[in-house]
Each structure stands twice: as C-alpha cells, then as structure tokens.
C-alpha cells in the first residue's frame, strides 16, 4: 500500500545541515500495522511529517520517493496534495494542544474535517462528529462537542484529535504517539477501534510510538530507528522474543516493572548523536556495550537474513552476532547520576503532605455576560498522605480529577476554582498561604506539567527557562553557580549542553519533557507533583528519568505525587497508590496490595486493560 524508498530529509540549522532522515526504506501492506519505534530525536515524527509533506520551513526532502498505491505523493502539486492529506492519508499528531485550534469549538473542527473529505454536510456532519466523539470515549459527546480545547484534559484533547482524523475515513493512517496522553482503559478502547477499522476498511497503519507494550499487542512488523536510520526490522513476535541489535536488547531491559524495584533501570548512557555531523562508523557505537574496533571506522549496512533486517557489524559476514555475550540481566546502578547540591532532607518517613477532604469546584458560566449559574465538581472529598522520601501514585482515567488535584496542591487554581479542604505541608495549610509564605512554599513544592510545549515559554532559550526559577526562588547563588547547576541538570536529564542556547520549538516532544523536568528540579524542591512526567518519553529516556528521580529521592529525601496512567512506572517507583474515579477516591493502599489484590471492580478493570509485552502471540 505504501512504499518508501531511500527517503532523505535535511533541515537547515545554525549548526549546519541536519540529516534528520538518512536513506529510509519501508514497505507497508494494506491492512498491516507497521510500528516505527526508537529514541526521541531519532527521526520518527520527522518521517511522518515528510510523508504528509508537512515539514518545517527549514526542512526539505533531498532524495527518495513515497508511493501510495502507485502514486508518488512527493511529486504531487500542493493543490492535489490537499485532497490526499487528511482524505487518503490521515494523521494523528503527537501534541493535540498544538494541533487543535484554540479559538474554535472542537465540534466545529471535526465537522470541518468531515465536510472537507466526505460528502456529509451540515447537521449530518455534526451528527457524525458526535458519533465519533462517543466512539473515542468522550463522555457526554452531545455537550462536549461545543467545548473549546482549553476546557478539556490532555487525554480528552488527544481523543478529539483521533476522532477528527478517523471521521474523515482515510485509507492510510499515520498515528504519531496516538495513546501517549491516554489512560489504559481509553487506550485499549482506541486500539481496539483502530483494529476494527483496519479489518473493515483494509486501512494501513504506521504506528509511531515509544510504548513497546502497545507495539507488542498491535503491530505486525516493527522497525527500530536510531539517529535517522532504520537499524532493525522484524515481525513483532520475533522482535520481542529475540531482538538482534544491541540497542533493541537494551531498550527491552530498560522497561520498568515491579521486579526491578529498588535497583537502577538499565538506562542507555548518552544521547542520540547530533545529525549535522558526518559519521565514519556505527552511529550507536559510543553508547553500545558490545562495541569493537571496526564499529568506529566502518559504516554498517542494513543486512537481510531469514526475513529480518539488522544494521550491525556483529551480523556482517565474519561477524560474531551469534557468539556475542548476552547482556547482563541485572543492570548496575547508573554511575552517571550525580547531584551536587547538599542533602536537604534524608528519607525519614516523617509526614510531609496531608490532603484532607479536598473538594474542587469550577463555576460553569453561561449567557452573554458569562455569569456563573452552577458549578462542576472535579474533585470530591479526596484525602491522602505523603511521607518524606516516598512516592504516592495517583492513577485513574483521563478526566477523573488527577491533574486538578495536583494543580490545587501547588496553588495553580486560585481565582479559577472554589477549593475546600486542607493541604497540610509540614503542618502548614497551603490553601491559606499568602505573600512570603506562599513564595517559600513554591520553593518546596514544584510541578512537572503534562504538556511540555504549553508549559515552556516559546520566546525564551532553554538556559533562561531553567535559570528563571532559580533567580526567583533560589537567588542566594551567583550566576556562575547557577550555570554549573544548570549544566549538571541538562546532563542528568539526557540532553546535550548545546541545547541550552536553543528554543523549545527546536526540540522533539520527549526532549521538551526533559527540559520541563529539569526546570522543576532546578530549585531543589521537597515535593514534586509529577503530572505524566514520562508519558512523552521513549523507553531509554524514561529509564534515565526514573533513575534520576529515584536517585534524587535517595539523596535528598524528595517526595513525589506521581500522576500517571503507566502501570509499569507505578509498579517500579510508587510506594502508595490512590485510584480515582469521577473525582472520588475509589481505592487506596500500598502498591503491592492494590496491584496484586485489588478490592474495587474499577481497579480490576483498570489493571486488566494494561498492555503487557509478555503477550507475544502477535496482533
């Protein structure tokens, strides 16, 4: 259905010509799900944008072809490409906040797509939009169709984006991290919907994701990408049963689960190399634990053997691919983690935060004068406790009140919502603080936001973003000390130091999330509200971040309120779990007890929807 042949994409940058995609060749059959996986910044999303001809202004295709059922889409004039884009090829973008028009109701945006690519008009198109909002799991679709994007949670905006794309009934779908912001139950619903559409319409699907469990359950074939090149292609069962490339083997070992609690994950050291340089040897060689001399001087080709492809000299004629030593099952602690600040508080187990009967209500404004006629209760009678040096995970479906709870605690809803109850931080009620007391609390309580792009100032360089909080909340250090601390933070979150002089729009979604994490850590807080901090990160970077958070907790006694839908992360990092449903606490307790012996039917359904890589029978 889709044949990509020797595709090359270059981007003009200040540092030189960036070869974002370097000779990519793929074939995808009708009705097939083809997964493209790899580290943030390796070229996955750029591949999708190239297929849709939506490259940034500085980017261009320098070679290759993209043929959709006999038609080269790269050769079409823009006037004809508009009917292909969205009609024949649909795309679910990675960041719904930047893909949805903030001044249009979500229903109008879906109707616009339906009328542009189907024969439906007017009320029929609106009815179709309501139907699709229901199919992707939006509650009360008849009412929510008239909402603006800012009134929806991150997961709900992602579902609107999916509904808009699928409502146009494309022949081929590019899904760029389609389930990143979704909880496991909605994720399962969306993936089942995509499978059904494939069976009914023979739709081809290019699935771009870092969630290997989703790949295991969805994909027929998998391509692993690194530094702009494909380095391994195999069927999904073969890839997960016996990955060949050292990078693929390390990725699978970096996955968090309960068996790895208390030890560092097998994080891959270093970062993806800068793509403006010329490579003499293997691009993964500086990070590979099976590297040998020729890897630094010989460029490996993509070799084909027994229906599988791998770009590694271990499998070249005369190589040692079959005889190479296996990677150690247990990772050693990551020695690259260090934090130069003096310990603030050793893990004592003393009570740090106690939330009592928290209730958050938002006024619902109607009419010409936008008067508040009633209120919507987003959080209703929520209570929990977090001790110093411990992690409490807040889980539940999108829209259940998890993020609202976190924002209320860090005082981001003042003037926007009616808040009842108490949040006692070191026995001081956060909700009653003003002036200097509130400023001191902000030093101790920070937040990592779910959407990194919306939370970073697009007009500030990364260095200024990180320094801003330090200047406002930790002014006692000089500029030299701040620079040293910022450079250490950038190293710890897995970014190159030249990133400090770049702007947020120059990074991938995962890289922007790392910047947001560094900003929260910069003021050395005692409690961090982590709102989906790893949802936009690939497996290897997720392991780096989890190792960093764990090491900070060990050294500084920092506590986390960890809001997430990734149960694997919860198994690895959380001491306690609170399960929320429709604004209320459904179940709470120790991690091991809740995950192995859930008492609530809702919790059992939530856990049953979690995808597992162990299910290797293929899609």
- The pTM score is 0.75
Full DSSP string of 122-168: HHHHHHHHHHHHHHTT-SSHHHHTT--GGGS-HHHHHHHHHHHHHHT
Contacts of 243 (CB under 8 A, 6+ apart): 232, 234, 249, 251, 252
pLDDT bin (cut points 50, 70, 90) of residue 398 is confident
pLDDT tens for each residue of 581-604: 989 999 999 998 998 899 999 999
**pLDDT value at 324 more than 50:** no
Q: For 55, which DSSP code?
A: -
pLDDT tens for each residue of 6-36: 999 999 988 788 899 999 999 999 889 999 9
State residue 243's pLDDT score.
92
State residue 565's pLDDT score.
81
Mean pLDDT of 403-425: 91
pLDDT bin (cut points 50, 70, 90) of residue 614 is low
Checking phi first, is residue 3 left (phi over 0); if not, alpha (psi -120 to 50) or beta?
Answer: beta
pLDDT bin (cut points 50, 70, 90) of residue 391 is very high
**pLDDT value at 206 more than 90:** yes
pLDDT tens for each residue of 435-472: 888 888 888 999 998 777 788 999 999 999 999 988 88
pLDDT tens for each residue of 515-558: 988 898 888 899 999 998 887 677 877 887 788 788 878 877 88
> Of 248, 117, 197, 172, which is closest to residue 4 (Cα–Cα)?
172
Euclidean distance between CA atoms 242 and 255, whole angstroms: 16
Euclidean distance between CA atoms 171 and 119, whole angstroms: 16
Euclidean distance between CA atoms 543 and 39, whole angstroms: 12
Mean pLDDT of 49-59: 91
What are the phi and psi torsion angles at 397 (to 5°)?
-70, 160
Residue 190 host element (H or E): helix 184-201
| Tokens 């634990």 sit on residue | 289
pLDDT bin (cut points 50, 70, 90) of residue 155 is confident
What are the phi and psi torsion angles at 302 (to 5°)?
-80, 105
Percent of the chain with pLDDT over 70: 92
pLDDT tens for each residue of 468-487: 988 888 877 788 888 998 99
Contacts of 155 (CB under 8 A, 6+ apart): 181, 182, 183, 186, 397, 398, 399, 565
**pLDDT value at 308 more than 60:** yes
pLDDT tens for each residue of 567-584: 888 988 999 999 999 899
Do the Cβ atoms of 270 and 577 come closer than 8 Å? no
State residue 370's pLDDT score.
66
Angle at 9 between CA 3 and CA 13, to 5 degrees: 165
Mean pLDDT of 409-432: 90
Number of CB atoms found within 10 A of residue 506's CB: 17
**pLDDT value at 212 more than 60:** yes
Do the Cβ atoms of 570 and 590 come closer than 8 Å? no
Euclidean distance between CA atoms 225 and 231, whole angstroms: 6
pLDDT tens for each residue of 169-184: 888 999 888 877 677 8
Q: For 330, which DSSP code?
A: S
State residue 333's pLDDT score.
36
The token duo for 512 is 């922007």
Q: How far is CA 252 from CA 38, 169, 328, 362, 538, in A?
A: 12, 35, 12, 43, 11
**pLDDT value at 340 more than 50:** no
What CATH number matches the domain at 351-608, 3.20.20.210, 3.30.1360.20, 1.10.3720.10, 3.40.50.300? 3.40.50.300
| Domain edges within the chain | 246-315, 351-608
State residue 103's pLDDT score.
92
Q: For 85, which DSSP code?
A: B
State residue 141's pLDDT score.
92
Beta strand residue intervals within 475-550, DSSP E: 527-531
| Tokens 């919306």 sit on residue | 454
The token duo for 454 is 């919306």
Mean pLDDT of 390-399: 89
State residue 563's pLDDT score.
92
Pick the more confident residue, 368 or 234: 234
State residue 329's pLDDT score.
33
> Of 93, 177, 153, which is closest to residue 563 (Cα–Cα)?
153
State residue 181's pLDDT score.
65
**pLDDT value at 126 more than 80:** yes
Residue 480, beta-bridge partner list: none
Spatial strand order of the sheet with 559-563 comes to 445-448, 527-531, 559-563, 391-396, 576-581, 584-590
**pLDDT value at 383 more than 90:** yes
Residue 355, beta-bridge partner list: 384, 423
The token duo for 128 is 């179709």
State residue 368's pLDDT score.
66
Q: Which long-range contacts (CB under 8 A, 24 or more apart) does 280-287 make?
A: 282/311, 282/312, 282/313, 283/226, 283/227, 283/228, 283/229, 284/226, 284/227, 284/231, 284/245, 284/246, 284/247, 287/247
């Amino acid at each position: 259905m889709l044949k990509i042949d020797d595709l090359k994409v270059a981007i003009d940058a200040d540092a030189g010509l960036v070869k974002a995609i370097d000779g990519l060749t793929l074939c995808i059959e009708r009705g097939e799900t083809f997964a493209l996986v790899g580290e943030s910044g390796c070229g996955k999303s750029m591949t999708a944008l190239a297929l849709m001809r939506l490259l940034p202004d500085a980017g261009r295709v320098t070679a290759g072809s993209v043929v959709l059922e006999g038609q080269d889409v790269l050769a079409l004039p823009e006037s004809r490409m508009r009917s292909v884009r969205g009609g024949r090829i649909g795309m679910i973008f990675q960041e719904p906040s930047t893909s949805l028009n903030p001044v249009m109701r979500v229903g109008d945006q879906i109707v616009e797509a339906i009328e542009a690519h189907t024969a439906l008009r007017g009320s029929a198109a609106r009815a179709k939009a309501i139907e699709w909002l229901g199919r992707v799991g939006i509650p009360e679709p008849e009412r929510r169709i008239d909402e603006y994007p800012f009134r929806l949670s991150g997961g709900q905006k992602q579902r609107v984006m999916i509904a808009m794309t699928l409502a146009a009934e494309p022949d081929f779908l590019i899904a760029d991290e389609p389930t990143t912001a979704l909880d496991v139950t909605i994720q399962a619903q969306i993936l089942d919907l995509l499978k059904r559409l494939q069976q009914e319409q023979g739709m081809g699907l290019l699935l771009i994701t870092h969630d290997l469990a989703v790949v295991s359950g969805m994909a027929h074939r998998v391509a692993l990408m690194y530094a702009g090149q494909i380095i391994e292609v195999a069927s999904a069962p073969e890839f997960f049963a016996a990955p060949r490339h050292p990078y693929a083997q390390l990725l699978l070992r970096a996955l968090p689960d309960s068996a790895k609690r208390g030890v560092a994950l097998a994080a891959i050291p270093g970062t993806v190399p800068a793509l403006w340089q010329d490579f003499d040897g293997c691009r993964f060689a500086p990070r590979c634990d099976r590297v040998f001399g020729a890897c630094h001087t010989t460029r490996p080709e993509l070799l084909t053997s027994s229906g599988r492809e791998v770009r590694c000299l271990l499998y070249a004629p005369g190589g040692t691919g079959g005889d190479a030593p296996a990677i150690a099952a247990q990772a050693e602690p990551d020695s690259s983690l260090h934090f130069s600040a003096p310990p603030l508080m050793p893990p004592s187990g003393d009570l740090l935060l106690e939330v009592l009967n928290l209730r958050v209500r938002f006024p619902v404004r109607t009419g010409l004068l936008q008067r508040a006629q009633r209120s919507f209760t987003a959080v209703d009678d929520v209570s929990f406790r977090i001790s110093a040096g411990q992690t409490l995970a807040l889980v539940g479906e999108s829209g259940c009140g998890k993020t609202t709870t976190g924002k209320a605690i860090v005082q981001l809803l003042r003037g926007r919502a009616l808040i009842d109850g108490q949040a006692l931080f070191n026995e001081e009620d956060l909700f009653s603080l003003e002036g200097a007391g509130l400023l001191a609390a902000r030093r101790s309580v920070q937040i990592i936001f779910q959407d990194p792009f919306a939370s970073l100032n697009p007009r500030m360089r990364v260095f200024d973003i990180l320094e801003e909080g330090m200047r406002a909340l930790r002014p006692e250090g000089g500029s030299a000390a701040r620079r040293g601390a910022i450079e250490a933070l950038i190293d710890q979150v897995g970014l190159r130091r030249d990133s400090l002089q770049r702007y947020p729009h120059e990074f991938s979604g995962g890289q922007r999330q790392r910047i947001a994490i560094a900003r929260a850590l910069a003021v050395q807080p005692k409690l961090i509200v982590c709102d989906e901090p790893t949802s936009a990160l690939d497996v290897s970077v997720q392991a780096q971040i989890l190792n960093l958070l764990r090491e900070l907790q060990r050294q500084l006694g920092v506590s986390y309120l960890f809001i997430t839908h990734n149960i694997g992360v919860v198994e690895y990092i959380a001491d306690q779990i609170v399960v929320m449903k429709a604004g209320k606490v459904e179940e709470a307790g120790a991690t091991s007890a809740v995950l192995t012996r859930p008492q609530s039917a809702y919790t059992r359904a939530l856990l049953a929807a979690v995808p597992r890589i162990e299910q290797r029978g293929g899609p």
